[in-house]
Every structure is written in structure tokens, then in C-alpha cells.
Amino acid sequence: MLSLLKAYHNFLLLALFFLSFEANLPSSSSSPTHLCSQTEATALIQFKTSFSIDSVASSYCDDVAGTKSYAKTESWKEGTDCCSWDGVSCDEKKGQVIGLDLNCSRLYGTFSSNSTLFHLHHLRELNLAFNYFNHSKMPSKFGGFPNLVYLNLSSSFFGGQVPLEVSHLSKLVSLDLSWPENYYPDQPLVLDKDTFKRLVGNLTQVRGLFLDGVDMSSINPSALMNLSSSLRSLSLRLCGLRGKFPSEVLHHLPKLFSLDLSWNFDEPLDKVTFERLVGNQTELRDLSLDGINMSSVTPNALMKLNLSSSLRSLSLEDCDLRGDFPENVFQRPKLKSLKLGGNQNLNLPKLNHSSSNLQVLGLSEMSISTGLLDSISSLQSLKDLILYDASFLGGGGFPLSIMNLSSLEVLNADGAQFSGGLSTVLPDSIGNLVSLQYLSLSGCSMTGSIPISLGNLSQLRVLELSFNQFRGQIPSSLTNLRKLTYLDLGYNQLEGRIPDEVNAFPNLIFLRLSSNLLNGTLPSWLFTASSSLRYIDLSHNQFSGPIPSSISQQLNLVYLRLSYNNLSGVVEYEMFSKLQNLTILDLSYNRDLSLINSNPSSADYTLPNLRYLGLASCKVTEFPPFLKASKGLESLDLSNNRIQGKIPKWMWDVGKDSLTYLNLSHNSLTQVEHLPWTGIEALDLSSNVIHGDLPIPPYGTSVFFISNNSLSGEISSLICNVTSLENLDLSHNNLSGVVPHCLGDLSSSLLMLNLGVNKLYGIIPPIFAEYCRLSFLNLNGNQLEGPLPRSIHNCRQLQVLDLGNNKINGTFPHWLGSLPNLQALVLKSNRFHGSIIGTRSDRSFSNIQIFDLSSNHFSGPLPVRYIQNFKAMINLTKDEIAASYMGTLNFSYSGSYSYSYYSIEISIKGQEMELLKIFTMLTTIDLSNNKFQGEIPMVIGKLNSLKGLNLSHNNLSGCIPSSIGDLVSLEWLDLSSNKLVGKIPQSLVDLTSLSVLNLSKNQLHGQIPQGKQFNTFGNDSYEGNMGLCGFPVSKGCSNNNETPPSNLPRGNDGSNSNITFGWKEVSIGNGCGLVFGLAVGYVVFQTGKPKWFVTLVEDMQHKRRKKPKIGNRSGGRRRI
């Protein structure tokens, strides 16, 4: 598995280097002639104690590289010979420490600039790779080892500048500051041009230079020509080098046999430069130029290279190569690895070379013909086949020709389209690939059952089948895979129980079965002292029963997610007290699970390595005391619990600099004294009983929710200092005063602003600047007055505007129609007046789905010009709007994303509702309680995706247009309290989704239509129409009933009666309707009129993050 050992490729290359000078190094022995000096032993002990041991620090070794990490420093004991300590090598004659190998040693902590490591003056080899030094500044004293020949700080989380003093290491043969592919850090080391110049000038003996992922953006590529001519291996992958490719660089490096310059240079590499680059490199064995634009280099140029028989590995992925790739490249006798993925305009020949020695073939993101695929089966030496995101032409399902590759060890086809994007079945013959060690088919639209034959793959170590549609049970045959270390079946439709065999998966490290339909109790083998499991994700299933107490014995556990299940019982905090390596713990949303601290006096245990804790809806009554030492906590969710009072002061130090996400919503907190978390990005304190002034979040906050509390006083202008705010929700409080003008300073950052249901007064200030980014604005339910500021027109991304229930006046703001993304407009219950003529533009309100102007003083005819522009209410299909909710993606942290949903207050089926989530299939028009006159336009019948239409309590006249019968999605219709005449159109009978109908208090006559939904409506739907007859009214029909009465009674005011009628919702066929069925969640009645607060049912769509290379795992997604 060449690709799985990528991280150690550099080290293996250097083996040849050290053979040449190994004889010059004094040999080390476990029983040296001289014991190590007390000074060096003390220095090592002090170095050991400066770090904690955390398995996460070396997780790459365990999870990706396949090398088991362990704490080497645990063998270091005072009073013993340090030359016998693990990782320590000594000079046999003098007892001096000359080698220190702490690679993959789980060291965690800040690396001091005065570390006692620098007291080891005789060091020749130093390896600190794959530890976690917390982005510490790389100390300059690394340059103080005069005899050092080997320095490896790869993947050790140093940050800042590479110190100039490193250039003093003139005897260095190998320098490695690199990062593994796809694991580059957010805060890389920086190598500036002056340091690099000194480095290449002094390191004249260097043979291996590995700087992958180091920021070298300030260095001119021409500086590479000054590298030592002794260099054998050069790797500068993704270093930020800019400008033009240095064509002459390799002429100065005649001994180079390994070169990686991938993902650098922003200027294309032309044909001439490419030929100069490698034209005379007869020693070059490994060449990687991924991500460099080579669109002008013809593939045939590869054949002109004087690479002789030495070429062993060639990688040209994502180079925009075009044309026909030369077939005879595959004939090179020593070529073992060829990666051409991402070159979508490159044509590959059929591979008719059964004698080829090719072991690795990468064709990711390419279109693969049936002929090419069949020819690949002739490559009998092939071990790694990389086909992720590839498209297979012909659409014949999973390619059976792959089954002929008897030597195949790695098959990565994540995201591949085997049947043109349609579902396909994984054939039973997959079990014939008995040499497979790595099988990844994530996101391939697989359906059917997981083949039982997978149990034949006895060598398999990694099995990744997530993000498919596999059904049925997990086959018990998988327990035959004794070597399996990584199993991911998440995000499928698997059901039944987990195989419950005591000795199942003895070497399993990673298990993800999340987002399936699995049930039953948790199997005992998951949680035992002998279990090798470190990562367990069983979230979003239907597991029941208690969490086994044996979990307390699983000391190596790092990651545990059991959220969104039906687990029950009482869990004591002490159960987790021994899990000192635990970094992620999520037990949220198990309805019958309770977490308690039964013995507070003895709760002195802590979880110092915890990064994420989710205990939402776990009946928690206090802040968990084991958090007291969790200084590196990044995410904490204690929402929907029973926590009362204040945030305890000891919590102020928990994650003070690291916490990015804190959710304490839906508790009973009464006061917020201090918000000390300087790194917080998302803070949710909504739905508590917090009183007093508005607390100001830390300045780096992006999301701040504190709605549904008892805050009072004015909105402090200090909130405007939090310039990073994207989502701000202060709704449902008792805040008073005016809307702060300084909120205009946040126009460039705010995406969502909700100040609804407070006691704000005055005018809406013109705070919306030209660069306004708002997509949601809710000022509903205040006492705002005056005209609507035209500066709202600057918010070109606005999707939802809710200004209802205020005192805003003026004529209809027709200029809102040009907002291209506006989907919901609510101006209800204000003092708008005048007629709505509409503009001649056919784009005005073209994306509107919710249009509510009810309870104003509008007059004149209905706005026909606008109605005919409501294109978002025409011919919408479920596929187009795929059952989602309106909202905004806020930010990403720790590999995850947060999503905020928009809310709105409208009338649905006669009930005032605040939709906490706006279903994208909801389309309504509410023009009720105004003074509109004239007829209902026929054009309204074109809005065939309309769910609700309310034109009641106006002065509308004429007949009900028969075109309303074309509103096939209509669920409620209210035309009551108008002056409509004529018969009820028979076409309305065909509205099979209609569950609510009110035609009362008009001048309708004739027989009420019968059949389908009309058989379910009661008398209250028709009362006040004295000329109607037939079921359900008491008046029978006869010939005399066909003539309309001359004088029908009206309401008390003679026209627009506001008398409340009885609404009737029925459940028959589709009668309840889609929107209403999704809407009604929970009900809260307030004083005055009833108001339903509705939570729509959530159905999150989990999308796979692209896994570009083998070993690059993706995390799940976090929701706010």
C-alpha cells in the first residue's frame, strides 16, 4: 500500500543517505560502556515533564500512517541509565546522548524557547515528528546543535517563522519540516527569503530537504537554483511559491532523484520550460508536479524526456493536460506509480501491457471508458487503483473487470459515478479481491445490501462505504475481517442490530455507523478494556437501552458520539472519569437519558483533553464539574437542560482562549455576568430567563443568539463594536428605545438581524449601506413608525423581510420588487395605504413566495401586475426545492459548519403562527383586511404552486374566477367578508389538497359543489350567503334557489365584518395538506389572540465532503 505509507516516504528515501556515513557514527547500545551523564538525564526528565501525554497529538500515526503511537517517555525514570530509555541513543564510549527519536510519542503542550532539550549539546539526530506543540514558535536554539545531521520536526505543530539560526546547522544531511499531503495546518511555519538564502548557503551537505506545507510565498522561485548540488530529494509541495517555474533549477541539481514541486507557481508551465526542467535528469526516479498548469505541454513531450529506465513514480494530477496520453509511458520497465487524476481533457489509451510493472494508477476525477477500464484489468501487478470522483462512461454499473486485479490492495473510488449518477449495486464478486487492504466506495450511490462476500477479504484494514443507500442488516460475515482497523458505514439506510460477537473486530480503531436505522442495545464488545476502539460514532440511529458501564474501562477512547438515539437510564459523570484521552463526547438528544453527579464531594476527576462536549437534552442540572481542567475545550452544547442561575465563575477559565462554540439555550439561566471566551464564534443563550441589560459578546463572535429572554433597557451601542457579527438575534425580549444607528457599521458583516417582538420605537433608521449583506431582517412586533427607509434597497441579498405588527406608514414600497433574492415579504398590521399599481417590469418580486400585506389600509384593485410576476409560485416541484428551510450558512470551525434558520410570523389557515423555520415549499398570498376593490383577476390561477390564498375582509366584487380551480397545490382559501356574487365554481372540487375553505359573508348563490374535499367542509364555510343551498347548509336546493337573493345580510358594519368564524381542519386523503402537516409542532398561547409557535420538522441533508486522497477523513457536520 504505497499511498498509505506516503507520510514515511521521505524517511525511506533517506535510508540510502545514512548508509554512506553510518560507519562514522558511534554505535548506540542498550548497555553502553559509560552511563549517561546526570546532567543530560536531568535535562531529559525535565523535557518529559514539560508536556502532557495525549493520544490525539499523534493520531495521524495511528489513524492514517498505520504506525502505532505510544508514549516513549513513560520509560524515562529518574535513577536509571538514560541510555536505556526508549527513543534515546548514546555514544557507546562516552555515554553522551547523540540521538533522540520521539516520533509519534503523543507529546502535547507548548514548546518552551528555553527547553532543557537544548542542553543535549552532542545530539546528531533529532526526531520530534507527529507530536502536538500547540503552534509554538519554533525556538531559535534548534540552531545550537553543532553536530546535528538529521532534524525531523514534521507534523509537530510548530508555527511562526523558521528561525535564522537553523542555517547554522552546517552538518545537516536531512531537514524535514513538512506536513503529510491533505493534512496541512491553518497556521503553518513561515520561511522567509533571508532565512532561505542563508539556509541554502550554509547547508552544503544536505541531501534531503522536505518543506511541504511551509509558507515560502515571499521567496522568488529562482532562489531554488542556489540549493546544494549534493541534494538527492527535494519536496516543496504546497509552499505558496509564485511566479514562473524556474526552468534551470535541475541543471544545478545533477544528483536529484526525487522532486515534488506540486501546487506552486501561478504562471503556466510551457513546453520549452518543461523540457528544460527534466530534459537531462537521468537519475530522476520520482517526479510530482500536481496542480501546476501544463495546458500548453503536449502529453507527447513526456516521451522526449531523457528519463531512461530510472523513472519510478510520475504524478501529474490536476495539471490541465490535454490531448492523447502516450501509450508507451506505461512501457517504462521501472514505472510503478502513475497519477493523472483531474486532467479531464486528457484521453487515455487502452492499456495492453500485461507485462507492465505498474503498481499504482490514479485516474481520479476523469471520464473512464469501458474499453479503458477493461484494459486496466491486464495490469496484473497493480496494487493501488485510485478512481475517486471518476465518471464511468457506458453506465453499466460497478465495473466487473476490476475483479480480475488479483493483486489489488487499494481501491479508492469515493464519489465515482458508475451508472451516470444513478444507483448501482455492489456485486458479490467484490469478495474475489482477496488481497484488498483498503476499500473505499463512499458516496457512490450504492444501493441494495452490503455483500456478504466482503467477509472473504481477510486482509482488509479499511472499509469505507458511507454516504450511500445500502439497506438491510450489517452482514455478520464482516466479523471475519480480523485485521480491520477502520470501518465506516455511516449515512446509509441500514437497519437491525450491530453484530454482537464477543471477539468481533479485535483490531478496530475507527467505527462510524451514524445516520442509519440501526436499533437494539449497544453490543458489549464495543466497550471493553481489551477493545482497540478509539473512535466510535453511533449517532442518529434508534439504539435503546442503557450505556454499558463497561465503557469506563475503555481507556484509549478518544471520540464517542451516541447522540440522537433512544438511549435511556441514569449515567453518572464518574463513568467517564478514567477516559483521560477523551477529546469528543456527545450524548445529546437521547430522550430518556439523564446525567447526574451523585457524589459531588468526590468529583475531583477531570477530562483534561476534552475538546467537544455535547450533552443537549440530557436532563443536566449543572455545569459538569469534570470540565474544570478542560482548558482546551473548543465546543460545548448544554442546551435543552435544567441548568439554573448563573454561569459559575470556574467556567470562565474553561476554554478561555480555545472555546469557539457555546450553546446554553433552553435552560433557566437568570443572569450573565461575564463572557470571557475570547475565541468564541457562536454563542447561543436563547430561551432562558436572563434579565437585565443586553450582555455584549466577545469581539470575535460571528453568531449571537439571546432571543426569548427577559432582557430590558436599550440596545447598547457597544454591540456595534462586535464587527465580526454575522447573525444577531435579540427577538422576544423587553428591549426598548430606538434601533441603534451604529448597526449600520455592521452592514458589511451582518447576514441576519432579528429584533422582533420587543418594545422598540421611533423610525427605522437608514442604516443599510451600499455594501449591505443582510439576507434576513425581522423587526416584527415592535412600535416602529414613520416611513420605510429606501436604504433597504441596498440589501441586494435580502431573502426575508418581516416588518409586520408595527406602525409603519406610507404607500406600498414598490422599489422592494427589484431585490433579486427576496422570497418573503411581510408588511402586515401596519399603516400602509393607497393603491398598489405595480410596475411594468416583469422581474418585480419574481422570486417571492410569501407575500403578506394584510391588515393595512391598501385600496384600489388587487396588484395584478405583481401577481403575474410571482414566478416562484408557478410550477415548483419537490425536486426543485427539495424539502429544505430558508437560512444561512454561518461559518466553519473544527471542520464543521453551523446553519441558522430564518423565522417569520404569518397567518396559516386562520391561525397566527411564528414559523421558527420557513419551509421552502411554503407559498402564500395574504391581502386580507384591507380596502381592495374590483374583481379577483383570472391570472391568479397560474400560481399553481400556491399553498394559501387569503383575500378576506375587503370590498372585492364579481364572481369567483374558475381559474382558482387550477391552483392544484392550494391548502387553504379564504375569500370571506367581501361582495362576491355568482356561483361557487365547480372546478374548486378538484383541489384535493384543500383542507380549509371560507367563503362566508358574501353574496354567493346556487348549489354548493359536491364531492371530494367539498364533502368535508362544514356550514361555517358558507354562512352569510343566503342564496346558497345544498349540503352542508340546511337549505335544500330547488329551481327557485337558482336565482340570487336581492338583499343579503352583511356584517355589522355593512361591509367588511371582522367577526371570527370557526375554521375547520380535516384529515382525509391529502386534506391536511403538506405545509400544515409539516408546520404544527408545538403551541404556546399568549394573552389576547391565540398564537401558535411552530417548529418545522427538520430533515438535514448530510453531504459528503470530498476526500481528495486516501486517508483524508472528513468530519460530520455541527448544527446550531
pLDDT in tens, 621-637: 999 999 988 888 999 99
Of the candidates 962, 867, 879, 963, the residue with the CA atom closest to the CA atom of residue 923:
867
Of the candidates 229, 276, 224, 225, the residue with the CA atom closest to the CA atom of residue 253:
229
And the C-alpha cell for 477? 460475515
HSE of 1027, CA atoms in CB hemisphere, 13 A: 19
Compute the distance between CA of residue 68 and CA of residue 1081 in angstroms, rounded to an integer. Answer: 50
HSE of 335, CA atoms in CB hemisphere, 13 A: 19
pLDDT of residue 173: 96
The yes-or-no verdict on residue 190 having pLDDT over 50 is: yes
DSSP string, 687-735: SS--EESPPPPPTT-SEEE--SSEEEEE--GGGGG-TT-SEEE--SSEE
Q: Residues 333-362: what's their mean pLDDT?
A: 85
Tell me the residue range of the domain where 208 lies: 51-233
Q: Are 639 and 617 in contact (CB under 8 A)?
A: yes
Secondary structure of residue 64 in the 3-state scheme? helix
And the C-alpha cell for 1014? 367539498
Q: Are 777 and 823 in contact (CB under 8 A)?
A: no
| Within-domain flag for 142 | yes
pLDDT of residue 305: 56
The yes-or-no verdict on residue 1 having pLDDT over 70 is: no
| Within-domain flag for 693 | no
The residue among 703 and 502 whose pLDDT is bigger is 703
**Residue 619 is which amino acid?**
K
**Which residue, chain included where needed, has cell 539556509?**
199
Compute the distance between CA of residue 45 and CA of residue 31 in angstroms, rounded to an integer. Answer: 20
| Distance, first Cα to last Cα, the chain | 40
Q: Residues 817-825: what's their mean pLDDT?
A: 94
Q: Residues 562-583: what's their mean pLDDT?
A: 91
Q: Tens digit of pLDDT for each residue in 418-462? A: 877 678 999 999 999 999 999 999 999 999 999 999 999 999 999
Q: Tens digit of pLDDT for each residue in 397-406? A: 888 889 989 9
pLDDT of residue 279: 65
Q: What percent of the chain has pLDDT over 90?
A: 60
Q: With 0-12 CB in 10 A as exposed, 13-18 as middle and 19+ as buried, what is 151?
A: buried
Q: Tens digit of pLDDT for each residue in 464-520? A: 999 999 999 999 999 999 999 999 999 999 999 998 876 788 889 899 999 999 999
Phi and psi torsions of 235, nearest 5°: -130, 115
Compute the distance between CA of residue 741 and CA of residue 715 in angstroms, rounded to an integer. Answer: 11
Q: Are 841 and 868 in contact (CB under 8 A)?
A: no
| Within-domain flag for 61 | yes
| Within-domain flag for 157 | yes
Phi and psi torsions of 509, nearest 5°: -110, -40
Compute the distance between CA of residue 239 and CA of residue 432 in angstroms, rounded to an integer. Answer: 42
Compute the distance between CA of residue 118 and CA of residue 143 in angstroms, rounded to an integer. Answer: 10
Compute the distance between CA of residue 415 and CA of residue 255 in angstroms, rounded to an integer. Answer: 40
The residue among 198 and 11 whose pLDDT is bigger is 198
Q: Tens digit of pLDDT for each residue in 261-294? A: 999 998 888 888 787 776 666 778 899 999 999 9
| Within-domain flag for 420 | no
pLDDT of residue 101: 97
**Which residue, chain included where needed, has cell 384600489?**
860
Q: Residues 1-14: what's their mean pLDDT?
A: 36
And the C-alpha cell for 221? 522561485
Which of 693-702, 943-952, 1027-1036 shows the lowest mean pLDDT across its residues? 1027-1036
CATH of the domain at 211: 3.80.10.10
For the chain, the domain total comes to 1
β-strand 535-537 against 52-53: which pairing, if any?
unpaired
| Within-domain flag for 1010 | no
| Within-domain flag for 1073 | no
Q: Tens digit of pLDDT for each residue in 383-421? A: 999 999 999 887 678 888 899 899 999 999 999 998 776
pLDDT of residue 502: 62
| Cβ-based neighbours of 1065, under 8 Å, separated by 6 or more | 909, 995, 996, 1072, 1076
Q: What is the CA radius of gyration of the chain?
A: 35
**Which residue, chain included where needed, has cell 481477510?**
458
pLDDT of residue 242: 92
The yes-or-no verdict on residue 147 having pLDDT over 70 is: yes
Compute the distance between CA of residue 414 and CA of residue 386 in angstroms, rounded to an integer. Answer: 9
**Which residue, chain included where needed, has cell 481507556?**
555
3-state SS track over 506-547: CCCCEEECCCCEEEECCCHHHCCCCCCCCEEECCCCEEEECC
| Cβ-based neighbours of 24, under 8 Å, separated by 6 or more | none
pLDDT of residue 1086: 31
Q: Residues 588-612: what's their mean pLDDT?
A: 82
Q: Tens digit of pLDDT for each residue in 710-750? A: 999 999 999 999 999 999 999 999 999 999 999 988 888 89
Q: Are 444 and 416 in contact (CB under 8 A)?
A: yes
Which of 208-212, 340-344, 967-971, 1115-1119 shows the lowest mean pLDDT across its residues? 1115-1119
Of the candidates 818, 914, 822, 819, the residue with the CA atom closest to the CA atom of residue 872:
822
And the C-alpha cell for 469? 443507500
Of the candidates 1032, 1049, 1029, the residue with the CA atom closest to the CA atom of residue 1041:
1029
HSE of 389, CA atoms in CB hemisphere, 13 A: 13
Helix (H) or strand (E) holding 136: strand 136-137
Q: What is the dihedral sign for C-alpha 752, 755, 757, 762?
A: negative
The yes-or-no verdict on residue 892 having pLDDT over 80 is: no
Q: Are 310 and 332 in contact (CB under 8 A)?
A: no
* β-sheet bridge partners, residue 956: 934
| Within-domain flag for 643 | no
**Confidence grade of residue 56 (pLDDT, cut at 50, 70, 90):** confident
5: Cα separation from own chain's centroid: 28
Q: Are 339 and 1108 in contact (CB under 8 A)?
A: no
The yes-or-no verdict on residue 375 having pLDDT over 80 is: yes
Helices (H) and strands (E) in the chain, counts: 10, 73
